[in-house]
C-alpha cells in the first residue's frame, strides 16, 4: 500500500502490509481518497460475506430476485445515481421492482439539483454534487426522528419500510424530503429562527411535483388550515407582532406565497443569485440575513416587497428598507399576503381559479379567460362521464392553450404558472 494512503478513520497507512480489523462488523467500503493513475495495490478481505445490494444500471430485477437478494450479509444497499440507502436485509427483501424504485428515488433527488439551479457539468459556483446523497437506517439515531448530514439518518422502524415501497415513499416522504432539503439550504439566508421553516420550501416543491397532496390546506382540530391561521396573523395590525410568534407550518405560508406569486422558478433564481453574490456582501448576523433576504427577494421578483415583509411581522432595519427603495421597483399588482392555494379536486376548481384570476386582472381581454373556461367546461363533461382517456387528452389541450396565451402575452406569468401547475395536479390524480 502506498505510504501516503489513508487506510481507516483518517490514519495514514504504513509502507508494506497494513492490517485493519472491524470488531463490530458492518459494510466494507473501498474508496480512493484521491485516485492516482498508475498506482496499484492488493487488498485481501477475509471473514466477510457479500451484501444484498442493488446497483442501478448494473443489477437487473431478474438478478436481484434470482441471486443477489440471497447474499448472506444482514445489511445491504439500494444504490442509485443520485442517492444511496443503507438498509437491513429484511427491508431490502420486500422490494418487488428495485429498478423502478431506485429510478423514482433518483428522480426525486435529482429534482433538488434542478430546483436550486446546479448541475455536475456546470462551472462554479453552480457545479452540482460530486457524489450521491446517503441515507442510513439505524435503531437509534442521535437527533430527532430523522436528521440531515452525510449520511442522513433515518430510523429502521418505520422509515426503512417506507424507502422500499414506491407508494409509501411518496405518502410518507415528507421527512425524507425535509432532511435532504437541509443539504441544499444556503447559509446566507438561514438562521436559527427559520432553519426548520424555510427548509420546507424544498419539501413542498418535491411534494407538489410527485404527489397531489396540498399540506398547507390540511386542517387541524379547530377546522382551520395553515392558510387560515396565517391570514389571521397577517390581518393583525399590531406593530409588536413577530414573524416567529406563529407555528412553523403557518410561517411556511409566507414562503409559499412568494411561490404562488412568482412560480417555483423564483426560488431557483434566488439560489443562483445568492451563489453569485460577491463574498464581501454575504451576510453573517441574523439581522443582516433578514435584511439581505428582503433585498434579494425584491430584486429577484422585480417588486418592492417591503410591505409584504412588514405585514408578516419581519424585523427589518430602516437601512434595508432604503436599500430596497433605491431599486425603484413597483409594488406587486396583487397583494402577495392575500394569496393562498385552492383545493384542486375537480375541473370546476380549476374554472374557479380562472375566474379569480379574471377578477384580479391577470388576463388581457375578455376572450382570453372565456376561451379557458369554455375549454375547461368541455373537460368537465368528460370528467362527469368518467371518460378518462378523453379527459387526459383534453386537459393536455388546456395546457397547450395556456402555452399559446403565454406566448401571445395574454396571460400573466403568475396565472400561467398557477393554472398549469393545477392542471398537472389534476392529471396526476387521474393517471
The pLDDT score that the predictor gives to residue 2 is: 47
Report which of 174, 213, 218 is spatially closest to residue 196, judged by C-alpha positions: 174
Q: What is the model's pTM?
A: 0.86
Q: Calculate helix-pair angle for 366-385, 347-359, nearest 10 degrees.
A: 170
Q: What CA–CA distance (Å, rounded) separates 18 from 370?
A: 77
C-alpha grid cell for residue 25?
Answer: 462488523
Q: Distances in Å between the alpha carbon of 135 and those of 138, 160, 163, 366, 387?
A: 10, 10, 10, 52, 42
- Is beta strand 83-88 parallel, antiparallel or unpaired with respect to 133-138? parallel
**In sequence order, what DSSP letters do the residues of 25-62 get, joined into one string?**
--------SS--TT--------S------EETTT--HH
Cα dihedral: 391, 396, 400, 402 (round 10): 70
CB 246 within 8 A of CB 254: no
Partnered with residue 282 across adjacent β-strands are none
CB atoms within 10 A of CB 155: 16
* Residue with cell string 436481484: 64
The pLDDT score that the predictor gives to residue 9 is: 64
CB atoms within 10 A of CB 334: 16
C-alpha grid cell for residue 419?
Answer: 393554472
SS3 state at 133: strand
Phi and psi angles of residue 84, each rounded to the nearest 5 degrees, phi first: -130, 135
The pLDDT score that the predictor gives to residue 321 is: 98
Grouped pLDDT means (10 residues each) for the chain, 431 residues: 54 80 86 77 89 98 97 97 98 97 98 97 95 95 92 96 96 96 98 96 95 91 95 94 96 97 96 97 97 98 98 97 98 93 88 88 90 92 83 92 94 88 85 74
CB 373 within 8 A of CB 380: no
Q: What CA–CA distance (Å, rounded) separates 193 from 155?
A: 26
The pLDDT score that the predictor gives to residue 307 is: 97
Q: What CA–CA distance (Å, rounded) separates 10 from 364?
A: 65
Distance between alpha carbon 214 and the CA centroid of its chain, in Å? 14
H or E element at residue 200 = helix 200-210
The pLDDT score that the predictor gives to residue 1 is: 44
The pLDDT score that the predictor gives to residue 3 is: 44
The pLDDT score that the predictor gives to residue 80 is: 98
**Which bin fits 134, alpha (ψ -120 to 50), beta or left (φ > 0)?**
beta
Partnered with residue 8 across adjacent β-strands are 11
Q: What CA–CA distance (Å, rounded) separates 397 from 408?
A: 17
Amino acid at each position: 500500500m502506498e505510504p501516503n494512503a489513508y487506510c481507516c478513520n483518517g490514519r495514514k497507512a504504513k509502507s508494506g502490509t497494513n492490517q485493519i480489523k472491524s470488531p463490530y462488523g458492518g459494510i466494507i467500503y473501498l474508496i480512493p481518497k484521491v485516485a492516482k493513475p498508475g498506482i496499484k495495490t492488493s487488498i485481501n478481505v477475509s471473514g466477510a460475506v457479500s451484501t444484498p445490494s442493488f446497483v442501478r444500471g448494473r443489477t437487473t430485477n431478474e438478478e436481484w430476485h434470482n441471486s443477489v437478494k440471497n447474499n448472506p450479509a444482514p445489511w445491504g444497499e439500494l444504490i442509485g445515481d443520485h442517492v444511496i440507502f443503507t438498509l437491513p436485509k429484511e427491508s431490502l427483501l420486500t422490494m418487488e421492482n428495485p429498478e423502478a424504485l431506485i429510478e423514482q428515488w433518483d428522480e426525486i433527488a435529482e429534482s433538488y439539483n434542478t430546483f436550486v439551479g446546479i448541475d455536475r457539468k456546470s462551472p462554479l459556483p453552480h457545479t452540482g454534487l460530486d457524489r450521491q446523497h446517503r441515507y442510513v437506517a439505524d435503531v437509534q439515531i442521535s437527533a430527532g426522528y430523522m436528521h440531515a448530514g452525510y449520511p442522513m439518518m433515518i430510523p429502521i422502524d418505520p422509515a426503512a419500510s417506507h424507502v422500499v415501497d414506491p407508494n409509501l415513499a411518496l405518502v410518507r416522504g415528507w421527512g425524507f424530503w425535509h432532511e435532504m432539503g437541509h443539504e441544499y439550504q444556503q447559509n446566507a439566508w438561514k438562521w436559527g429562527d427559520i432553519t426548520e421553516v424555510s427548509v420546507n420550501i424544498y419539501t413542498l416543491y418535491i411534494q407538489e411535483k410527485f404527489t397531489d397532496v396540498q399540506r398547507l390546506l390540511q386542517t387541524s382540530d379547530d377546522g382551520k388550515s395553515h392558510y387560515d391561521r396565517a391570514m389571521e396573523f397577517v390581518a393583525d395590525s399590531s406593530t409588536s407582532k413577530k414573524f416567529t410568534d406563529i407555528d412553523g407550518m403557518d410561517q411556511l405560508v409566507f414562503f409559499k406565497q412568494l411561490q404562488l406569486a412568482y412560480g417555483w422558478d423564483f426560488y431557483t433564481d434566488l439560489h443562483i443569485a445568492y451563489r453569485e453574490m460577491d463574498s464581501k456582501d454575504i451576510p453573517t448576523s441574523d439581522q443582516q440575513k433578514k435584511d439581505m433576504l428582503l433585498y434579494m427577494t425584491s430584486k429577484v421578483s422585480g417588486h418592492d416587497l417591503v410591505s409584504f415583509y412588514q405585514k408578516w411581522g419581519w424585523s427589518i432595519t430602516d437601512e434595508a428598507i432604503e436599500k430596497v427603495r433605491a431599486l425603484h421597483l413597483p409594488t406587486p399588482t396583487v397583494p402577495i399576503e392575500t394569496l393562498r392555494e385552492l383545493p384542486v379536486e375537480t375541473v370546476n376548481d380549476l374554472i374557479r381559479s380562472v375566474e379569480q384570476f379574471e377578477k384580479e386582472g391577470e388576463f388581457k381581454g375578455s376572450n382570453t379567460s372565456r376561451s379557458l373556461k369554455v375549454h375547461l367546461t368541455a373537460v368537465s363533461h368528460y370528467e362527469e362521464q368518467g371518460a378518462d382517456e378523453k379527459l387526459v387528452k383534453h386537459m393536455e389541450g388546456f395546457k397547450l392553450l395556456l402555452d399559446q396565451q403565454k406566448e401571445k402575452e395574454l396571460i400573466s406569468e403568475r396565472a400561467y404558472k398557477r393554472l398549469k401547475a393545477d392542471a398537472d395536479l389534476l392529471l396526476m390524480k387521474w393517471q
